[in-house]
Structure 1
């Protein structure tokens, strides 16, 4: 394999993983990150078996399991306690589970695995590419390159996506979210993602996300669904009315938020729906959210970023010509990504919208559908990231499943575990 000079724009999960994988293969990698200081963006996320398999390939599975919190169940309900969704990984077999993680934990694990920080150019916003896609211009007008390959991993709001000349559509979702991390303390559901819904207008969630390097306090990732246009009004009203509302909707969650004393402690998240016909042009290729940003309803963003980076590495190993490798990369990933884009577009109005009739239908039908033999299996595959196309199943490697089965789970307090069930 010929060693390439590769530029990676963005040092989020997709960029970090690509840098690590490609550097290990002997390529000369340079990363351009717009932030002046490197660090994670966001609170927590749920790693699915597909994402865990990539960490296993990287040799980071054991470290991830040591910091993350195993999640065996996803449960959603109305404020009165009526179940809307109840999905358990046990139905997939193979001892599979999700892993709640803090973004800071994954960021540190990936950064420590590729410690050559001198190759990360901080404070560099790449604003344009030369027509041949080999040279890049930063915000100061300076040109960088030429490179053999330019990887745009600059997220859902990518400034370089348009350089493919293949963007079909890009739109900001009207609903966003507020996020923060809070201490888990005596939270009763230490191995479950718990959500509460008020029609589709309000959604509260609590996800156990474990610890991160340098901080042994187990935490929960809290999120509150909110229309993007109401962010500023929410901030102006202050915490008191918001706290009162949470106390009425979910007293247990309200108790965990005692440490929140300022609206600035909650980060704002805005989501995009992006459709790109072709993820590459000449020597440019899109990775992660830059290629296929979608609603967070299925929680696949981090998992997709990890899988994209691994697929690109494999394609470059197989094809000596870069354009052929980029074509193979998209072909390998597109069927998997496509079905999740489809379902995220359909599910978003069911969970984040002002369409009350749709939400009522969801509350009545969603749980029974998940108990039907065919519907249950399909929902579980979509949940775990193992749906491939509309009818296929993405296989997991037997060696990975064996490693997952041998990994020792972190012991839960017996009373908490009993109470969660």
Structure 2
């Protein structure tokens, strides 16, 4: 027996889950396939931006989201010569929720999944890994998969690849991404902190190294920045040497740093920045990291992925309801979202060259006194990076068909 659906979504990350929820609310039959049995993954994008929280408002999901455990990051500060200067201030944004929420991604995904499963046309298949595509007359006609009951095939009028930067679906379709040079990687780890810790993003910089200290409810999430290609060398030096490197940048946290027990506590992120020249082929659309891998700077990748999903649902819901989705409709999604993607990647590449490049080459990490003085005299300038990170280029709103009153969703 051949299984059929209107829209098959590959990957249950933020892009896939938002797209599935919105299309299901439009009355489209949706089948979402996630290869894992749950959403419990460490060091995923745990940032929820002001525009994403506004979207949750529009979807009637703010109340269940607000009940989740999260911390609010409202500012980012630089410290130099005993002075502290706010260079990112989300509270200056004209948004209903002017902060970045640090929430475990599995909590957000479970919330979205519960809301989607309340829609009659939505089906979520966990432990189901897509292994290839079905083709018919040169067009993608669905997916091959391996699930709890063995291999199977699902025919679909549209397949949407939301399976991340190493997308199997994209590869099977033969869509090629252009890679942009990146000369740094990130090593993630956690350090405990006291309950009265201020929730402000705080970079700690030294010659040839840098840490991004991200406050969470019971711990700091730390991003250690270093030159690309040194992971094996870092691990060969061992945990004692790694702790010493961290202590140099966090001299006020010796007890927390001592909590690092082994290099197994340190997770390596191989940073890639790329973008598909074309996000679609007949019968298939790529969005989120499957279409464009972003730098971790600013944590904007998750925001762009969700905005892609909203745009795709807005533009494709009616064609899917009419069972008439062709290349023209898929190209419209690409046209809508490629501009914000390109602009964001260009800004990230500029920051790589101007800030991270010199830092990792051993340049003096002290912020220029003139810059600190300017931010002190003109504090409204802190709204500019806040807008770039928290709102971004061409933010999307929930389409009317997906909106619900507070308390009525799910």
User: Shorter-chain TM-score: what band?
Assistant: 0.7 to 0.9
Deviation at 1:395, TM superposition (A): 8.1
Deviates more, 1:26-35 or 1:262-271: 26-35
TM-score, normalised relative to structure 2 = 0.80
Match of 1:326 in 2: 330
Alignment counterpart, residue 342 of structure 2, candidates 338, 341, 345: 338
Task: Name whichever structure is richer in helix by fraction.
Answer: 1
Q: How many residues align?
A: 383
Per the alignment, residue 160 of structure 1 pairs with 169
Deviation at 1:81, TM superposition (A): 5.2
Q: Displacement of 1:271 after TM fit?
A: 2.0
Using the TM superposition, give the Cα deviation of residue 334 of structure 1 relative to its aligned residue in structure 2, in angstroms.
2.5
SS of 1:264's partner is helix
> Could you tell me which residue of structure 1 aligns to residue 129 of structure 2?
124
Q: 2-side partners of 1:118 and 1:158: how far apart?
A: 21
Residue 108 of structure 1 pairs with residue 110 of structure 2: yes
1:352 partnered with 2:361 = no
d(CA) in 1 for partners of 2:189 and 2:360?
27
1:7 lines up with 2:8 in the alignment: yes
Q: Residue 178 of structure 2 aligns with which residue? A: 169
Question: Among 178, 198, 209, which residue is 2:206 paired with?
Answer: 198
Moved more, 134-143 or 248-257: 134-143
- 2:8·2:156 contact (CA, 8 Å) conserved in 1? yes
Q: Which residue of the partner structure matches residue 160 of structure 2?
A: 151
Please, which runs of 5 or more residues in structure 2 have no aligned partner?
A: 401-405
Q: Distance in 1 between matches of 2:390 and 2:55?
A: 14
CA contact (8 A) 1:127 1:139 kept: no
Residue ranges of structure 1 left out of the alignment (5+ in a row): 211-217, 389-393, 400-405, 407-421
- Measured after TM superposition, the shift of residue 284 of structure 1 is 0.4
The question of 1:387 aligning with 2:393 is answered yes
3-state SS of 1:322 partner: coil
Shift of the 128–147 alpha-carbon distance from structure 1 to 2, 3 Å rule, reads closer
Give the conservation status (yes or no) of the 8 Å contact 1:153–1:286: yes
Q: Does structure 2 retain, via aligned residues, the 8 Å contact 1:51–1:304?
A: no
Question: What pairs with 1:21-420 in structure 2 (closer than 5 Å)?
Answer: 21-35=22-36, 37-43=38-44, 45-66=46-67, 67-77=69-79, 86-94=87-95, 96-115=98-117, 119-128=124-133, 130=135, 131-138=138-145, 144-162=153-171, 167=176, 169-171=178-180, 173-186=182-195, 188-190=197-199, 192-199=200-207, 201-210=208-217, 218-319=218-319, 320=322, 321-323=324-326, 324-353=328-357, 360=364, 363-364=367-368, 367=372, 376-388=382-394, 394=395
Displacement of 1:82 after TM fit? Answer: 6.2
Provide the rounded CA distance (Å) in 1 between the counterparts of 2:355 and 2:380. 23
Structure 1 residue 24 displacement after superposition: 3.1
